[in-house]
Amino acid sequence: MSKRRRILGQHFLNSWRFAARIAEIAETRDEVVIEIGAGKGILTKQLARKARRVIAVEIDARLADLLESMQLPNVEVINRDFLQVELKDLGNPLVVGNIPYNITSAIIRKLIQDKCYVKRATLTVQREYGAKMMAPMGSPAYGYLSICVNHYFDVSKKLVIPARYFSPRPSVSSVVVVLNPKKGGKGGIDKSYETRLFEFIAGVFRYRRKFLRNAIMNCLGHLPDGIPEDMLRKRPQHLSLGDYQSIYAVISGT
């Protein structure tokens, strides 16, 4: 494996059966599909069987050449970093991919940023990361990621893939999750306000073992008046997005 692949934490799927299952879960028939990190093409081939068009994004030039050599008629290979791809120019595609472990969060941030240009995302991620995405309030895995992702997407787990079906073999299994962008429901929240709100939530979760009172003081350097006492006595993982919106409304004066 190349040095860049090691840095990204990329593990190639080596089972055509699981590749076929992922393509089935993604519901690609007659759709435009953008594949993140197409690699050696095992998933690409399965996606191409039913999709109208597959845009296989691969950052490694040697692997991009390998994909080109397959000469799949409805597959376009793009030798580029997915994080630099303009999704708005691709016609509301499905996004599918076996996500490199070390850049999963960056990819999720991009999908959030471009969610209005994505029809649906079907992603294979590290099992622990998937658990954090779907964690309920109050659970050990619940955190900033859980709140943020579920604000923008309906998330569901579809499949567990054991570690032995990847090369090189990772230390943990993976899960296939589907992210459906939520339509509306934002109540006209200003994007700059929303950004500040989530920055505040991320800051509070750096002190998840502390009560909210101390977490806010560590984040802001003071404790604003007006935050309900019952919330201040809770730890960050025991508060919902609605709770954080109420708290931040007090802090920001909105």
Q: Which residue numbers belong to the known binding site for S-adenosyl-L-methionine?
A: 11, 13, 37, 58, 81, 98
List b or e across 126-161, with b for residues whose CB sees 16 or more CB atoms inside 10 angstroms.
Answer: bbebbbbbbbeeeeebbbbbbbbbbbbbebeeebeb
Residue 33 contacts residue 26 (beta carbons within 8 Å): yes
> How far is it, in rounded angstroms, from Cα 136 to Cα 29?
33
Q: Which residues lie closer than 8 Å to 29 by C-beta, 6 or more apart?
A: 50, 51
Cα atoms in the Cβ-side hemisphere of radius 13 Å centred on 176: 20
* Nearest-10 crossing angle of helices 144-152, 104-113: 30
Type and span of the H or E element at 13? strand 12-13
Q: Which are the contacts of 190, defined by CB distance < 8 A and separation ≥ 6?
A: none
Q: Which residues contact 13 (CB under 8 A, 6 or more apart)?
A: 19, 22, 39, 42, 43, 98, 124, 161, 165, 166
In the chain, the N- to C-terminal Cα span, in Å, equals 51
d(CA 31, CA 53): 7
- The arrangement of strands across the sheet holding 153-161 comes to 75-78, 53-57, 32-36, 94-98, 120-126, 174-181, 153-161
State the binding site.
11, 13, 37, 58, 81, 98
